[in-house]
Amino acid sequence: MWTRQGTYSGGARASETVASIAWYVGASDSTTGKYTRMVDLSPEPPGVKQPASDALDPYKGTAGPWLDDDCRSWRKQQHTGCEST
């Protein structure tokens, strides 16, 4: 907790000034003040990513038969990477 005099009255060393903490740690006063004001220093857990909409959905009806026909061609004539079954 900060007091009006710019001292931090919490933690192991109560009423330590931000400047003295910054000098001891080797960080700037503003960085030290930022982290002493934080309540929880643990990192945020990664959020769940929403699946992106498939950009090829409008073309699946057209491209699907093309790819199927291409896989039925003889091997040296194929233009796509067909799965071997």
For residue 37, what pLDDT is reported?
86
Check whether 72 has a pLDDT greater than 70: yes
C-beta pairs of 9-12 under 8 Å, 24+ apart in sequence: 11/36
Secondary structure (DSSP) of 30-79:
HHHHHHHH-S--SPPPPPPPPPPPPTTGGGHHHHHHHHHHHHHS-GGG--
74 or 48, higher pLDDT: 48
pLDDT at 28 > cutoff 90:
yes
* Euclidean distance between CA atoms 17 and 4, whole angstroms: 11
- CA separation for the pair 10, 43 (Å, rounded): 21
Mean pLDDT for 44-73 is 81
